[in-house]
């Protein structure tokens, strides 16, 4: 069998190589058919379509609907979010998944999206495909998020909550006191105290500030 | 008046009184609002009373009697207290009180059921809201005439006001 197939396979690779070489020969020479204007304008229009398409596709992956299309997210963390103030509240503003978990500016967003390719791997191989597996990994997953928010000074929190716009006279005495002492002085960042505000917590033994 | 006439008159008076008694509650429903459930008839469900806000002053409240578990003078909405962690202890644990300036949990909470002091909070005292509860800004539907022991002692003291 292999002796019968081998000439076919070699001829395919030979043809592919020849096609590639011919393409390169065409590409490396100046065009003799299309005008410079067509090439420039065509490139411009194609660029808009590709760039716009890329960003549209990127934004599609940045929605609550997309995040909760995986059962890992829908049945675990999204269910837990539903009972918190970031889902329903008196003013009706909802923080959806990417508001807290994806940076808003482009460079950092792309970096985070590339990291997220590991989550696709986890989905395909069922790393957290059951509730039990998810709970086993919960501490590790939570620690990734705490480390990220600690490193970027709670950037995603501050997209909405800024210390400058915080009116501490409207806060409860406890909150006003803590924010004045630790947030305004830069001693602590949001995530240092506000862990577990959107999802249930893992085993917190040994985590700083917890018993 | 003949005895026979007297009996008839008495029967008439009794019938009139009983008729009055049966019509009275329908005409005048004054005693009904005194009930806790309000003026809604028994076979109907009253609209739920409005939810009242939590007291959130963070000011220590006086205990009504020495053994009363202190009430929580702030909201505890969303505070996770379970096998994984205890949000209350993030402020009220011994090692956390320096940063939080919150009162430390009582040393009695370190004791097990045999009165043996443990190194840390006893498991049977872990679930704070079993005894300590936050307060709503609600008017009590039933007035409370509880008098605490200090008032009683003061009354019997020489300078006490005897009321």
Tokens of residue B3, six digits: 């005895």
Radius of gyration of chain B (CA): 28
Q: What's the domain count of chain B?
A: 2
CB contact under 8 A, A210 and B85: yes
B81 and B127 housed in the same domain: yes
Q: What is the DSSP string of B84-121?
A: TEETTHHHHSGGGHHHH-PPPPPGGGGB-TTSPBPSS-
Tokens of residue B24, six digits: 């009275």
CB contact under 8 A, B57 and A173: yes
| pLDDT for res B32 | 47
Chain A: give the shortest CA distance to residue B93, in Å: 8
B80 and B128 housed in the same domain: yes
Q: Assess if residue B146 is contained within a domain.
A: no
B35 and B81 housed in the same domain: no
| pLDDT for res B159 | 81
Q: Whose CA is closest to A76, among A84, A68, A85, A66? A: A68
Question: What is the ipTM metric for this complex?
Answer: 0.75
Q: Assess if residue B122 is contained within a domain.
A: yes
B83 and B129 housed in the same domain: yes
B152-162: average pLDDT: 83
Q: Assess if residue B139 is contained within a domain.
A: no
CATH number of the domain encompassing residue B84: 1.10.1130.10
Band the pLDDT of B6: cuts 50, 70, 90.
Answer: low
Residue pairs between chains A and B whose CB atoms are closer than 8 Å? 48
- Domain of B82, in residue numbers: 76-133
B86 and B129 housed in the same domain: yes
Residues from chain B that touch A83, judged by Cβ atoms under 8 A, are: 78
Asked whether A77 and A86 are in contact (CB, 8 A), the reply is no
B33 and B81 housed in the same domain: no
A35, pLDDT greater than 80: yes
Could you read off the pLDDT of A145-202 as tens digits, one per residue?
999 999 999 999 999 999 999 999 999 999 999 999 999 999 999 999 999 999 999 9
C-alpha triplet B79, B63, B113: angle, nearest 5°: 70
Which residues, including other chains, have CB under 8 Å from residue A146's CB and lie 6 or more apart?
Answer: A191, A195
B87 and B42 housed in the same domain: no
Tokens of residue A127, six digits: 């790393």
Chain A: give the shortest CA distance to residue B91, in Å: 8
Chain B: give the shortest CA distance to residue A57, in Å: 36
Q: Assess if residue B69 is contained within a domain.
A: no
Q: Assess if residue B97 is contained within a domain.
A: yes
Residues from chain B that touch A178, judged by Cβ atoms under 8 A, are: 100
Could you read off the pLDDT of B14-69 as tens digits, one per residue?
655 555 555 544 555 545 445 677 778 888 888 888 889 999 999 999 999 999 99
| pLDDT for res B156 | 87
Residues from chain B that touch A194, judged by Cβ atoms under 8 A, are: none
Indicate the residue of B75, B80, B121 with minimum beta-carbon distance to A201: B80
Task: Report yes or no: B84 at the A interface, CB cutoff 8 Å.
Answer: yes
B80 and B37 housed in the same domain: no
Tokens of residue A209, six digits: 């500030």
Q: Assess if residue B101 is contained within a domain.
A: yes
Instruction: Give the torsion sign (CA, A168, A174, A177, A179).
Output: negative
Chain A: give the shortest CA distance to residue B90, in Å: 5
Q: Assess if residue B57 is contained within a domain.
A: no
B80 and B125 housed in the same domain: yes
Closest alpha carbon within chain B to A203: B84
Closest alpha carbon within chain A to B99: A178
The answer to which of A29-33, A94-98, A184-188, B152-156 has the lowest mean pLDDT is A29-33
Select the residue from B73, B81, B85, B87 to test the A interface by mutation, using most A Cβ atoms within 10 A. B85
B81 and B126 housed in the same domain: yes
CB contact under 8 A, B100 and A178: yes
Select the residue from B74, B80, B123, B127 to test the A interface by mutation, using most A Cβ atoms within 10 A. B80
Q: Assess if residue B30 is contained within a domain.
A: yes
Residues of A with CB under 8 A from a CB of B: 83-85, 172-174, 177-178, 182, 193, 196-197, 200-205, 207, 209-211
Closest alpha carbon within chain B to A196: B80
Chain B: give the shortest CA distance to residue A209, in Å: 6
CB contact under 8 A, A174 and B90: no
The answer to which of A66-75, B2-11, B97-106 has the lowest mean pLDDT is B2-11
B44 and B81 housed in the same domain: no
| pLDDT for res A19 | 94
B37 and B80 housed in the same domain: no
Asked whether B144 and B82 are in contact (CB, 8 A), the reply is no
């Amino acid at each position: 069998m292999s002796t019968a197939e081998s000439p076919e396979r070699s001829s395919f690779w030979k043809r592919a190589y020849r096609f590639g070489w011919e393409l390169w020969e065409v590409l490396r020479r100046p065009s003799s058919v299309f005008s410079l204007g067509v090439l420039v304008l065509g490139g411009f229009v194609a660029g808009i379509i590709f760039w716009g398409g890329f960003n549209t596709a990127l934004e599609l992956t940045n929605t609550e609907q997309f995040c909760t299309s995986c059962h890992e997210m829908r049945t675990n963390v999204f269910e837990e979010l539903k009972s918190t103030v970031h889902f329903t509240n008196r003013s009706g503003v909802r923080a959806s998944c990417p508001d807290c978990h994806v940076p808003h500016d482009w460079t950092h967003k792309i970096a985070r999206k590339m990291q997220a390719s590991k989550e696709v791997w986890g989905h395909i191989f069922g790393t957290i495909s059951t509730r039990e597996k998810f709970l086993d990994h919960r501490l590790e997953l939570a620690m990734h998020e705490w480390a990220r928010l600690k490193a970027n000074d709670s950037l995603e929190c501050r997209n909405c909550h800024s210390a400058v716009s915080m009116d501490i006279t409207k806060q409860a005495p406890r909150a006003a006191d803590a924010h004045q002492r630790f947030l305004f002085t830069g001693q602590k960042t949001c995530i240092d105290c506000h862990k577990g505000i959107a999802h249930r917590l893992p085993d917190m033994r040994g985590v700083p500030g917890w018993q | 008046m003949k005895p026979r006439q007297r009996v008839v008159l008495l029967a008439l008076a009794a019938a009139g009184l009983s008729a009055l008694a049966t019509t009275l509650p329908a005409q005048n429903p004054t005693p009904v609002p005194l009930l806790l459930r309000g003026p809604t008839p028994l076979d109907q469900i009253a609209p739920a009373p409005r939810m009242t806000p939590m007291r959130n002053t963070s000011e220590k409240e006086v205990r009504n009697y020495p053994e009363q578990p202190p009430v929580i003078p702030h909201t505890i909405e969303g505070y996770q207290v379970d096998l994984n962690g205890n949000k209350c202890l993030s402020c009220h644990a011994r090692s956390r009180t320096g940063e939080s300036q919150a009162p430390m949990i009582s040393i009695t909470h370190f004791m097990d059921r045999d009165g043996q002091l443990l190194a840390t909070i006893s498991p049977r005292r872990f679930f704070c809201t079993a005894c300590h509860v936050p307060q709503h800004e609600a008017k009590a539907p039933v007035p409370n005439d509880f008098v605490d022991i200090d008032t009683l002692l003061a009354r019997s003291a020489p300078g006490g006001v005897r009321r």
